[in-house]
Chains A and B, each alone.
Chain A
Amino acid sequence: MILSLSSYRLRLPLSLSIAAVVTAFSMAVALGLQTLTNLREDQGRNALTLGYAMAGVQIQALRNDDVWLAYSLLRGPDGGGDAVWILLDQAGRIFASNRPRRFRLDQPIENALPWLPQAQPQVIDEKPGRVSAVDREDVRRLLRLPLYSDGSQVGELIALLSDAPYLPRFREILLGGVLVTGGVLAVMLPVGWLWGRRMVGPLVQLADCMGRVGREDPRRMQCTLPDGDSEIGRLGQQFAAMLSALAEKESLEQQMIQAERLAAVGQVAAGVAHEVNNPLGGMLMAIDTYRRAHPVEAQTERLLDLLERALRQIQASVSALLVEARADLRTLTREDLEDVKTLAQPNIVKARIVLNWENACDSAIRLPAAPVRQLLLNLVLNAVQAAQGGGHVGVRITTQDNLLMMRIENSGRVIPPEQLLHLFEPYPASRPHTRGLGLWVCYQIVSQLGGTIRAETQGELTRFLVALPLTAESPA
């Protein structure tokens, strides 16, 4: 997978690293500048202190014209350090300096340092020394210390201070900052990478799953969704809730469509049956009347028989479409249900299947006996046929909450989901070899009894679930 810059898997570690770099760099710069400021102040103070310390001897050197004494004092133990020291005599000429080649003896100071402001004759005070900021060549600060002897000025001590001694230290601090940044980056980059992956992983799951909504049946979507207390976890939970709501809605719609379609088919079938049955009854009556009123010769008799058998076949076919669930008013008993087991036994043996029969019903069940027997028998035979050849069939019948619950499941060929939708229609296209009215009849019975029937598959199992509401009182 190619990561673009917009990916949080890159942006997170990068952001962390940039934050670390910026922090470390600004710390280093701030520290460096602060140190520089402190060092500059120290430098000015030290120069002033040194100037005052030297002043007495320098006055003596000026008085005695002892250039060497003044020079050796300015030069100090280490050549005067980085500061440039200049001692001027009364006439403003250079008397000594620790940079003797640059600031020559007897040279007027205005020639050596043209930018130096003319010294103002000033009132003698106790602390005449001044450190002022300048910016000339590499001189940053300037110390001017007039030297007084017995009330009159005999010379002036000047120190030119630069930043040169501090630049290496400034560089050291910056280098330290760079090293710290490097160390932090070495930790931050992998941590940020992992963190980014951890944060982004659930989002990617969520995005993948969202992408499938609308293209797949929400009832069968298997999504790994983030969980937990975090915002992303809550997002995942909300999305899971939305998915299940979608699945429920989808399921309801399907059921409604199915119910409506089956109801329409039932009406059409009933209408056709009535329309066919009326003339059919007339025709059968006419054949009967004809037989009774006329002596019928053998050839005619064969013809009438042929007609009557054909008409009766039509009548049987039409009757099969018309399920009259409430025709039988006898109350269902536990034995009726057990009868179904017995009736199915030959088929079970023939199909070599294992039957797991579980009947947890009381003796009397407030439902009409005949349709429920037919319903159960149809479903059991159906299951036996599907599980043919060493499979197994499970039947479980219970009553609860004024409902008779029947669960019939079988192993064997799994019904594809698209067929499940049309399972209860008459003459389903998927099962052309059967007469195809078994499940249609079941559905009609259940509908007329006010119950529900649905089929589902689970792994290798195909399961029919029937729920029939018991009548309030014993059937009238």
Chain B
Amino acid sequence: MAPVAKRPTSSPCSRRTFLSGLLAAGIGLAGGRADPVRASSQPLRFGLTPVVLDDRIGFLNAWADWIEGALSRPVVFVQRSRYREILDLLLQGRIDLAWICGYPYVRNRSRLELIAVPRFRGRPLYQSYFIVGSDSEIQRLHDLEGRLFAWADPDSNSGYLYPRFRLTSDGKDPDRFFRRTFFTWGHPRSVEAVAEGLVDGAAVDSYVWETLARGHPELTARTRVLERSPEFGFPPIVAGPALSDPDRQAIRRVLLSQVQDAAGRTLLNELNLDSFGLETPDLYDDIARMAGRLTGGNGA
């Protein structure tokens, strides 16, 4: 699942969304800072999936500055349009840590270490929402049969793994249940696709939906939550093999203490989060179980 910040731009059809979709391929945020510079202090490379944060450069700069101040080390955010790309960079050691979904985490638990887990509404948990258009006649999940449906990302728990698991549990083949599906490569886009009538339904991250409802109620008002999933571990911030142990301790300390700092709290508030907490990997066992049951998934 993707790390998510409060999404700033208003309507679902902003040009920037459109352009960033076009330009997403391979262009990192603040390119100059993306390349590691062999200097006295090597920057910390922090991977983000550009799902909600993609055009909040001002916020990201502020957050990077804050972490830099606390860590005494430069911080560079690296963004990619797909979860998979960030995961690959992380596993290859080309970035130090990343904010990823619980699903790719559980699949690579052996090589990744939990640094911190965001607390949303007081708990390190979130859900998957099945949403439909607010004026849709669909009342139950099974009414979506033969309809158009949007997945978020093949590496998303709430936007792909769970909904497929849910249908499989009911004895449905998620690949045949809908007439046509496609990936939007981002939860906010899935919300938009439902609101615009592009699809009849979608499964989205509850944190994204609730954050959008806070910042852009006119968008979420055009959607209706059809069904809520059980709670899962919130998308964590994990360290890749490239990050040394002392560095892991350092960044963990910084993130855990962010809530104690006024500026840090402001940034957390912008993210619609309470704090970062320390959790054990078994928080994601439910996701791991689902992933284990869905062996025939779509190449995820």
A residues with a Cβ closer than 8 A to B are 57, 65-69, 71-73, 75-77, 79, 100-101, 104-106
Contact = CB atoms under 8 A, between A and B. Distances in A.
B36 interface: no
Closest 8 CB pairs of A and B: A101-B197, A77-B15, A67-B182, A100-B198, A106-B180, A72-B18, A68-B184, A100-B197
Contacts of B91: none
Contacts of A105: 148, 180, 182, 198-199
B148 A75 contact: no
B17 to A, nearest CB: 7
B223 to A, nearest CB: 14
Contacts of B274: none
Given A100-B198, A101-B197, A65 B18 contact: no
A100 B133 CA distance: 13
Contacts of A72: 13, 17-18, 21
Interface string B11-53: 0011101100110000000000000000000000000000000
A69 B24 CA distance: 11
A68 B182 CA distance: 8
Contacts of B148: 104-106
8 contacts: A68-B150, A68-B189, A72-B13, A73-B22, A76-B18, A77-B18, A105-B198, A105-B199
A57 B18 CA distance: 12
Contacts of B17: 72
B13 A68 contact: no
Contacts of B199: 105
Contact of A79 (B13, B189, B193): B13
Nearest to A99: B197
A106 B22 CA distance: 23
B148 to A, nearest CB: 5
A257 to B, nearest CB: 108
B180 A68 contact: no
A104 B21 CA distance: 22
Contacts of B15: 76-77
A73 B198 contact: no
B59 interface: no
Interface in B156-196: 179-180, 182-185, 189, 193, 196
A75 B179 contact: no
Given A104-B148, A106-B180, A69 B197 contact: no
B18 A68 contact: no
A448 to B, nearest CB: 124
A68 B183 contact: yes
Contact of B182 (A66, A75, A79, A100): A66
A104 B149 CA distance: 12
Contacts of B150: 68
A2 B13 CA distance: 69
Q: Which DSSP category, helix, strand, loop or mixed, fits chain A's interface?
A: loop
B197 A75 contact: no
A72 B13 CA distance: 8
Nearest to A71: B198
Interface string B246-263: 000000000000000000
Contacts of B185: 66, 68
Contacts of A76: 15, 18
A106 B179 contact: yes
Nearest to A74: B18
A88 to B, nearest CB: 14
B32 to A, nearest CB: 27
User: Counting chain A CB atoms within 10 Å of each CB, which of B17, B21, B185, B198 scores highest?
Assistant: B198
Contacts of B182: 65-68, 105
B13 A57 contact: no
A75 B193 contact: no
Nearest to A100: B198
Contact of B18 (A66, A67, A73, A100): A73
Contact of B13 (A66, A67, A75, A101): A75
A72 B188 CA distance: 13
A72 B11 CA distance: 13
A73 B20 CA distance: 11
Contacts of A65: 182
Nearest to A79: B13
A105 B181 CA distance: 9
Contacts of B21: 68-69, 72
A73 B15 CA distance: 9
A326 B288 CA distance: 166
A96 B85 CA distance: 26
B300 to A, nearest CB: 16
Contacts of A66: 182-183, 185
B296 to A, nearest CB: 19
Contacts of A69: 21-22
A380 B72 CA distance: 146
Nearest to B180: A106
A40 to B, nearest CB: 27
Nearest to B185: A68
Given A72-B13, A76-B15, 14 more contacts: A57-B22, A68-B21, A68-B184, A69-B21, A72-B18, A73-B18, A73-B22, A77-B13, A77-B15, A104-B148, A105-B148, A105-B180, A105-B182, A106-B179
Nearest to A77: B15
Contacts of A57: 22
Contacts of B13: 72, 75, 77, 79
Contacts of A100: 196-198
A409 B296 CA distance: 145
A51 B282 CA distance: 52
A63 to B, nearest CB: 13
B189 A75 contact: no
B78 to A, nearest CB: 22
Contacts of A106: 148, 179-180
